[in-house]
Amino acid sequence: MSLGEQFETILPAAQRGAGWALEALYRALAPAVVGYLRLQGAEDPEDLANEVFLGAFRGLASFTGGEEALRSWVFSIAHRRIIDERRRRARRVPVVSLDDVGAGAVYLSTGPGVEDQVLGALEEERLRRVCDRLAPDQRDVVLLRLLGDLSIEQTAAALGKRAGAVKALQHRGLESLRRILAEEISPKGVSG
């Protein structure tokens, strides 16, 4: 969701700490950020998104640039947060609580239509599974470009890579994606 011309009014107010302006930025950016964190495999995407926006809002006073630059900046923060979470997760022993088993049910209970929620949950699970099969670098590039709507240069800046490397990664990522999606429809050994 883009703020368009409103951005020129909202940003200065948000930089002064006005709640209404911060909320407008949150409403515009949070869905894509939460989606990015979800498909990157965050344990609690919404909680992590809260941390991302708190960090972004606290540093907003020193930000300069337009809406695209702000979007790129927020996704850079989100990417660093998910990297941190992966490192934390790698250091601790995985524990599955009984509450987590029913997480899908909790998710379903918050939406309007149960059928749509079921389909949505299944689709999200499928997308996440596909993304999991991508190489991490390829997944970062594909998701930042698709969900963050970042350019090659912005993606390169967010990942700390050169633009040429991002271009190569997105190419290989799409090739891998095409192969993975094809295998989902006709798994190996079944076609013939």
Partner 1 sequence: MSDLDDYANEMHKPRALDDRAVEAFFAGRSLPADEDLLGTFAQSVRAFSHQPAPTPRGELAAVLMDGLTIEKGDLPVTAVSNATGPRREASGLPKWRRPRMTALLSALITKLGALGLAAKAGLAIALTAAGVTAAGAAGALPGPVQNAVSHAVTDVSPFTFPTTANSHAVFGGKTATTAHNNHGVSGSTVSKAAKTQGSTEKANPTTGGSGSASQGSNGAPTNPGSQSSTGLNQANTTPAKGHAPTSVPTPTNPGSQSGSHPTGAPTGSGSTNSGSTNSGSTNSGSTNSGSANSGSANPGSGARP
Please report how close the Cβ of residue 91 comes to partner 1 at its closest, in angstroms: 24
- Please report where in the chains the tokens 């970062």 appear, as a residue: 140
Residue with smaller CB distance to partner 1, 76 or 173: 173
- Would you tell me how many other CB atoms lie within 10 Å of the CB of residue 184? 12
DSSP string, 108-164: HHTSS-HHHHHHHHHHHHHHHHHHHHS-HHHHHHHHHHHTS---HHHHHHHHT--HH
**Who contacts 29 (Cβ-Cβ below 8 Å, separation ≥6)?**
1, 53, 70, 71, 74
Q: Which is nearer to partner 1, 8 or 125 (CB)?
A: 125
In terms of CB distance, is 69 or 186 closer to partner 1?
Answer: 186
Contact predicate 114/120, CB 8 Å: no
> Left if phi > 0, otherwise alpha if psi is -120 to 50, otherwise beta: which for 41?
left
CB of 95 to partner 1, least distance (A): 22
- Whichever of 1 and 105 has its CB closer to partner 1, that residue is 1
Lookup: tokens for 117: 């929620």
Which of residues 17 and 94 has its CB atom nearest to partner 1 in the complex?
17
Task: Report, in Å, the least distance between residue 158 CB and partner 1.
Answer: 15
Q: How far is the CB of 98 from partner 1 (least distance, A)?
A: 22
Binding site for partner 1 (CB under 8 A): 1, 15-19, 22-23, 26-27, 30-32, 34-36, 38-39, 46-47, 49-50, 53-54, 57-62, 123, 127, 130, 143, 145-147, 149, 170-171, 174-175, 177-178, 181-182, 185, 192
